[in-house]
């Protein structure tokens, strides 16, 4: 409580009403799959365009090399073509994929710098590193003191352990700094001859020896200026190159002769005198082989925050509301993906059916593996143009469908069933199913994509893989995800507030205002808010034991809108007698 110690007027602010509750995003997608490059461990990367994807993860993969595992790039491309705006991507790589390096495997060479590509893949073989000698600090010597110590014009930038060069206009002598403070520099060895130069434009210079690193990969280039091999310097190469998005660099201390006094580029080059530049190329990078992939690579490992891989990497992500592993139809992977969605309860999985399963019985065999309201299944595969092979190919529908989800959310709202929507960028279907076949598949929860004359190729189903009829529609499940996440994220302010009638009233007002807005947007049934939802909070939902144990219980009931899946017009013949 505020203290009032002296006479005066005090103005104080306090909250009496409910906090505005903002709806959570429902159109952010997540994708898992093989790519040319990209991290295989850590957090999924945010992608806002296909150009972003190509910059971070590379381009299309070869069918001959990766077969059915190559569809991530196509799925992300068609996600954006179909109206998606942002997604997170997690790369998977075969266990035998290798990172390119400047040190060959099994080599006993004494390379001072160990440079590897940031992540596995043959892409790293195209990386080129150029080193150029440079200096971060130069000064002139004003006086010679005792014990190899020199008074200089300015000792800023000189660190203990730095290699320095003394240039007198005719020759260059290298030395090492022992200490530098208050414009006095102590060197390891004494400088010979007359080293003092007090001229306004000096001819004799004491300079540090550093180097610039230029890293090139395709159109990407990174430059790191004035880096050092001195571990105690703030510009030590390990610290500076940690910012690189292309390479990892480490100094091999065992191969670094601490007694020798040579400029760093000469040390890195193995003793070769370098005047202008020294180039390093990487090799040995490999994409691995598709035959080495297994469900375990997609399922991933949970090694703790920031070290998860595969599907497990999305545990740390709270933005994704739709997730897919394009083209991966292994039931072990799909079941793990569905289990992940059921555990986090904030996203839904979009599943593909194997392309070779075209008969109704075969499709149902695959469908019957699943029973979850957090999964939706789509078929058949889509015919699109492949920019890599310059021909039409068939890709799994999940990437395009997730884009349709996102587009429908943005144009109509999450309550609108993402069906009867045109799939963009598609020229045909792998299989043309008819109404009779859909009569069998639709009630089982298989959402078909069909061609209609004059209406293009459309998503013609909106069912989940659940046997519970309350949750059979995709939009109902996604609406509840939206409501639950919005209420959870928007009511954090309630935690640790006094659990009394005043708080209950504020919570009630907060949720009532939010659900009223949702009802006005057309997401809830009823001609009035009272018909669309109810909110119970207070003594009717909590016992004294709940209150004593710090529990605030609010019961909310909503009436979601259901899609008009079957439109029936009953027509009869009107007679005069009627």
Please, which pLDDT band fits residue 12 given cuts at 50, 70 and 90? confident
Produce one character per residue of 511-533: b if its CB has 16 or more CB atoms within 10 Å, e if not.
Answer: bbebbeebbeeebbeeeebeebb
Q: Is residue 434's pLDDT more than 70?
A: yes
pLDDT of amino acid 259: 66
The region of weakest confidence among 271-285, 355-369, 441-455 is 271-285
Please, which pLDDT band fits residue 108 given cuts at 50, 70 and 90? very low
Mean pLDDT (the chain) is 90
pLDDT of amino acid 578: 55
Mean pLDDT confidence for 156-180: 87
Mean pLDDT confidence for 91-105: 88
Is the backbone of residue 409 left (phi > 0), alpha (psi -120 to 50) or beta? alpha
Pairing of strands 446-452, 375-379: parallel
User: Phi then psi for 575, rounded to 5 degrees?
Assistant: -110, 165
Contact 33, 75 (CB under 8 A): yes
| CA separation for the pair 528, 535 (Å, rounded) | 14
DSSP state of 325: -
Compare 50 and 263 and report the one with higher pLDDT.
50
**Is the whole model's pTM more than 0.85, yes or no?**
yes
Domains of the chain: 29-96+289-476 (3.40.50.11780), 113-133+210-281 (2.60.40), 136-208 (2.40.30), 498-578 (no CATH)
The region of weakest confidence among 247-251, 331-335, 351-355, 463-467 is 247-251
Q: Is residue 225's pLDDT more than 60?
A: yes
Q: Among 409, 426, 320, which residue's Cα sits nearest to residue 31?
A: 320
pLDDT of amino acid 394: 96
Calculate what percentage of the chain has a pLDDT beyond 90: 63
Q: Is residue 257's pLDDT more than 70?
A: no
Q: Among 30, 17, 120, which residue's Cα sits nearest to residue 75?
A: 30
Contact 348, 341 (CB under 8 A): yes
Is the backbone of residue 445 left (phi > 0), alpha (psi -120 to 50) or beta? left
Q: Is residue 106's pLDDT more than 60?
A: no
Mean pLDDT confidence for 118-145: 91
Calculate what percentage of the chain has a pLDDT beyond 70: 96
**Secondary-structure percent of the chain, ordered helix, strand, coil, rounded to 5:** 25, 25, 50
């Amino acid at each position: 409580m505020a203290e009032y110690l002296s006479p005066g007027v005090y103005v104080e602010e306090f909250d009496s009403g409910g906090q505005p509750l903002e709806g959570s995003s429902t159109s952010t997608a997540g994708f898992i799959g093989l790519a040319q490059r990209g991290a295989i461990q850590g957090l999924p990367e945010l992608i806002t365009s296909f150009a972003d994807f190509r910059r971070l993860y590379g381009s299309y993969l070869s069918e001959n090399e990766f077969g059915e595992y190559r569809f991530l790039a196509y799925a992300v491309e068609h996600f954006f073509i179909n109206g998606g705006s942002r997604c997170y991507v997690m790369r998977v790589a075969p266990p035998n994929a290798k990172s390119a390096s400047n040190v060959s495997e099994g080599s006993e060479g004494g390379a001072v710098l160990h440079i590897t590509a940031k992540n596995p893949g043959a892409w790293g073989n195209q990386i080129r590193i150029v080193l150029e000698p440079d200096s971060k600090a130069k000064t002139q010597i004003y006086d010679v003191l005792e014990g190899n110590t020199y008074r200089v014009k300015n000792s800023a930038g000189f660190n203990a352990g730095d290699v320095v060069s003394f240039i007198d206009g005719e020759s260059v002598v290298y030395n090492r700094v022992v200490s530098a403070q208050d414009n006095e520099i102590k060197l390891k060895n004494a400088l010979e001859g007359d080293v003092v130069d007090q001229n306004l434009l000096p001819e004799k210079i004491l300079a540090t020896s550093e180097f610039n690193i230029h890293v090139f990969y395709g159109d990407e280039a990174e430059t790191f200026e004035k880096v050092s091999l001195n571990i105690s310097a703030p510009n030590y190469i390990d610290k500076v190159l940690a910012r690189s998005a292309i390479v990892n660099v480490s100094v091999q201390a065992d191969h670094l002769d601490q007694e020798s006094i040579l400029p760093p580029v000469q040390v890195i080059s193995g003793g070769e005198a370098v005047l202008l530049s020294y180039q390093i190329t990487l090799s040995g990078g490999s994409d691995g082989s598709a035959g080495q992939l297994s469900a375990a690579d997609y399922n991933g490992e949970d090694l703790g925050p920031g070290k998860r891989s595969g599907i497990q990497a999305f545990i740390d992500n709270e933005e994704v509301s739709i997730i897919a592993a394009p083209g991966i139809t292994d039931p072990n992977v799909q079941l793990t993906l569905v289990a992940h969605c059921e555990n986090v309860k904030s996203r839904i999985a979009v599943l593909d059916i194997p392309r070779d399963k075209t008969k109704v019985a075969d499709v149902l065999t695959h469908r019957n593996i699943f029973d979850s309201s957090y999964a939706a299944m789509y078929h058949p595969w889509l015919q699109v143009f492949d920019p890599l092979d310059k021909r039409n190919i068939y890709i799994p529908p999940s990437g395009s469908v997730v884009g349709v989800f996102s587009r429908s959310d943005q144009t109509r709202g999450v309550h609108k069933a993402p069906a009867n929507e045109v799939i963009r960028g598609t020229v045909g279907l792998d299989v043309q199913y008819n109404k009779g076949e859909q009569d069998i598949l639709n009630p089982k929860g298989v959402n078909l994509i069909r061609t209609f004359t004059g209406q293009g190729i459309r998503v013609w189903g909106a069912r989940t893989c659940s046997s519970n009829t309350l949750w059979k529609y995709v939009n109902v499940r996604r609406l509840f995800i939206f409501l639950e996440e919005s209420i959870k994220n928007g009511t954090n302010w309630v935690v640790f507030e006094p659990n009394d009638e005043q708080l209950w009233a504020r919570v009630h007002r907060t949720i009532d205002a939010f659900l009223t807005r949702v009802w006005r947007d057309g997401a809830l049934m009823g001609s009035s808010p009272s018909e669309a939802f109810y909110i119970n909070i207070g003594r009717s939902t909590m016992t004294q034991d709940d209150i004593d144990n710090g529990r605030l219980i609010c019961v909310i009931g909503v009436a979601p809108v259901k899609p008009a899946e079957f439109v029936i017009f009953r027509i009869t013949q009107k007679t005069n007698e009627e």
